[in-house]
């Protein structure tokens, strides 16, 4: 005899009452992902989906800016469906690259898979996460849960079936609702549509969808992708409630080192940052006044032992387009740990005037983290 399901009666309220309960957007990554949403990162194989998703996880779990975008620190759970040894190297590389102690991170890893579309199995998983939080005395609920990958956590599910996909969406919704978390699903892309592979019901349920492309993906050429080229472009392909961001070029650095512990096991992995192209070739085309300004910045940052500060200065020599201004300012604000309410204008064009305008908000604000000395004040007098 079937069990009687409880009756659910939705509440109906007046528009005035409805509009009284308005809350500001709770950004996990400013303008990229907000809390309590369903998102997907989709791409063909070998497009570094897992690397980029992991970088988001590490940034949020430590409160570190992601590609220059401010983050809200909170616990993150990564469901690692494959490559656990590789994830160890990738996370170690990220922490070493950013000079962050992993003990300050609130990142948790789920080892192994389960059929997430199954009501019973998802219930067991939710209880296991609750138990881990209790055991480690984590008082905050996970702000983000990453499912990597969809296919690994959808065992025996027919991706092309709208009804089966709806069941999976409902279970992902349980994760969202239980923890008020953003659920980010790493998934393969449909070559025909450019959206997540499988039933359109999945894409329809998403609040955010991002894709990753390597050079050559945008063409119909059958030429193989150059696997030595470590550049990708992050593109926003769906945003349900927000304007979103421009396409974001990313480039990987090869990071080598040793795992902690007595064995000192070596590792070799990739870490992604914003890609501003070939700064040396762009530098050659700058006017003398702009070069002088850049030299002042280099001098000012020389006192900072952090190599990333010098990288900031070298990347400053590409103020070509308004989009690059926005990206560069976002990145600078993140790297220099500026207060998040700092407003920066984004001029068009290039040359010394625009370059000086770009720098002015940073000159006018106290930047103790960057250890800016008097040299940078001289820029204002040029």
pLDDT tens digits, 140-157: 999 999 999 899 999 889
Single pTM value for the model: 0.73
d(CA 41, CA 53): 8
| pLDDT tens by residue, 187-212 | 998 878 888 988 999 999 999 999 99
Mean pLDDT for the chain? 77
Phi, psi of 238 (to 5 degrees): -160, 135
- The reply to whether 267 and 283 lie within a common domain is no
For the chain, the straight-line distance linking the first and the last C-alpha, in angstroms and rounded, comes to 85
For residue 211, what is the domain's CATH number? Answer: 3.40.50.300
Predicted local distance difference test score (pLDDT) of residue 135: 92
Give yes or no for residue 321 having a pLDDT over 70.
no
In a domain, 315, yes or no: yes
- Specify whether the CB–CB gap between 180 and 37 falls below 8 A: no
Give yes or no for residue 334 having a pLDDT over 80.
no
| pLDDT tens by residue, 130-141 | 999 999 999 999
d(CA 106, CA 280): 38
Q: Mean of the pLDDT values across residues 344-362?
A: 44
The two structure tokens encoding residue 179: 């923890």
In a domain, 10, yes or no: no
Residue 225: pLDDT band (50, 70, 90) is: low
Residue of 373 and 177 predicted with greater confidence: 177
> Is residue 25 exposed (0-12), middle (13-18) or buried (19+ Cβ within 10 Å)?
exposed
| Longest Cα separation, the chain | 85
Q: Across the strands, what pairs with 63?
A: none
Predicted local distance difference test score (pLDDT) of residue 105: 94
- The reply to whether 68 and 197 lie within a common domain is yes
- The reply to whether 244 and 294 lie within a common domain is no
In a domain, 18, yes or no: no
In a domain, 2, yes or no: no
Give residues with Cβ within 8 angstroms of 57, minimum separation 6: 76, 78, 107, 144, 146
- The reply to whether 313 and 204 lie within a common domain is no
């Amino acid at each position: 005899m079937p069990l009687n399901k409880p009756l659910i009666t939705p509440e109906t309220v007046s528009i005035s009452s409805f509009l009284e309960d308005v809350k500001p957007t709770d950004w996990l990554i400013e303008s990229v992902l907000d809390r309590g949403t369903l998102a997907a990162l989709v791409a063909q194989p070998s497009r570094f989906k897992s690397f980029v998703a992991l970088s988001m996880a590490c940034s949020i779990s430590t409160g570190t800016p992601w590609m220059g975008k401010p983050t809200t620190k909170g616990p993150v759970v990564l469901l690692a469906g494959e490559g656990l040894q590789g994830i160890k190297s990738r996370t170690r590389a990220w922490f070493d690259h950013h000079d962050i102690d992993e003990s300050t991170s609130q990142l948790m890893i789920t080892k192994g898979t389960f059929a997430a579309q199954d009501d019973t199995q998802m219930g067991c998983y939710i209880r296991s996460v609750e138990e881990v939080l209790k055991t480690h005395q984590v008082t905050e609920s996970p702000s983000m849960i990453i499912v990597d990958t969809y296919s690994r956590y959808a065992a025996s599910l027919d991706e092309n079936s709208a009804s089966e996909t709806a069941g999976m969406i409902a279970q992902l919704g349980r994760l969202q609702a239980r923890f008020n978390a953003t659920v980010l699903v790493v998934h393969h892309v449909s070559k025909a549509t450019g959206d997540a592979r499988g039933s359109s019901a999945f894409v329809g349920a998403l609040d955010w969808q991002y894709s990753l492309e390597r050079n050559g993906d945008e063409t119909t050429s059958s030429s193989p992708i150059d696997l030595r080229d470590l550049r990708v472009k992050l593109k926003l392909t769906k945003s349900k409630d927000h304007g979103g961001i421009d396409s974001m070029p990313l480039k990987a650095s090869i990071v080598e080192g040793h795992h902690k512990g007595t064995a000192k096991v070596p590792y070799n992995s990739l870490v992604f940052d914003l890609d501003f192209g070939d700064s040396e070739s762009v530098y050659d085309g700058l006017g003398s006044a702009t070069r002088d300004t850049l030299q002042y910045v280099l001098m000012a940052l020389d006192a900072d032992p952090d190599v990333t500060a010098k990288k900031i200065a070298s990347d400053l020599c590409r103020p070509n387009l308004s989009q690059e201004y926005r990206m560069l300012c976002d990145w600078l604000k993140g790297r220099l740990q500026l207060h998040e309410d700092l407003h920066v204008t984004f001029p068009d064009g290039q040359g010394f005037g625009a370059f000086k305008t770009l720098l002015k908000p940073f000159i006018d604000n106290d930047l103790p983290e960057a250890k800016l000395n008097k040299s940078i004040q001289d820029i204002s007098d040029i």
